[in-house]
Structures are given as structure tokens and as C-alpha cells.
């Protein structure tokens, strides 16, 4: 058989894809970031959604001691 191999290797992730971080209830900063993320998604600005997730993860880690 000479069928070319078209299957590509899995992409290398520079950051582990964790899905979207959750906000902590009662935290205004979490809420603010979540609102920014929701607004960005509502206008289709997915790079801004991604940025908001990075900001939120950093805040969760530094502000709430999350992993
Ligand atoms: Zn928070």
C-alpha cells in the first residue's frame, strides 16, 4: 500500500488546556474578570476571552491560592 500518512502528531501545547477557570463567589475581582470575558465572547473577540482566562487564572493562583 502506498497510502500517504496524513495523520499528524498531536499538537504540542505550550500551556496545559484546562478549560475555563471558575470565579470565586463573592470576589469582586473575579466577577470583573468574568464580566470582561463574557463581554469579549459576546462580540466574538476570542483572543480577549483567552486573555481574560489568563488574567483570571493568575488572579485565582495569586489571590486565592488556587493551583
Ligand atoms: Zn477572586
Residue 18 domain-assigned? no
Residue 20 domain-assigned? no
CB atoms closer than 10 angstroms to residue 23: 19
Report the distance separating Cα 67 and Cα 64, nearest Å: 9
Instruction: State pLDDT tens for residues 13-45.
Output: 555 555 789 999 999 999 999 999 999 999 999
Residue 43 domain-assigned? yes
Residue 54 domain-assigned? yes
- CB contact at 8 A, 50 and 17: no
Centre of ligand 1 to C-alpha 22, Å, is: 10
> What is the pLDDT, as a whole number, of residue 12?
64
Query: How distant is the alpha carbon of residue 20 from its chain centre?
Result: 5
Domain with 38 in it: 28-64
The three cell numbers locating residue 16? 496545559
**Residue 4 — pLDDT band, cuts 50, 70, 90?**
confident
Residue 19 domain-assigned? no
CB atoms closer than 10 angstroms to residue 17: 5
Report the distance separating Cα 18 and Cα 26, nearest Å: 23
pTM: 0.70
Residue 16 domain-assigned? no
Centre of ligand 1 to C-alpha 42, Å, is: 22
Total structural domains within the chain: 1
Centre of ligand 1 to C-alpha 6, Å, is: 45
Amino acid at each position: 500500500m502506498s497510502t500517504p500518512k496524513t495523520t499528524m502528531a498531536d499538537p504540542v501545547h505550550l500551556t496545559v488546556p484546562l478549560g475555563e477557570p471558575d470565579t470565586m463567589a463573592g470576589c469582586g475581582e473575579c466577577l470583573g474578570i468574568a464580566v470582561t470575558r463574557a463581554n469579549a465572547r459576546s462580540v466574538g473577540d476570542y483572543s480577549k476571552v483567552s486573555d481574560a482566562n489568563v488574567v483570571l487564572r493568575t488572579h485565582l493562583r495569586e489571590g486565592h491560592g488556587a493551583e
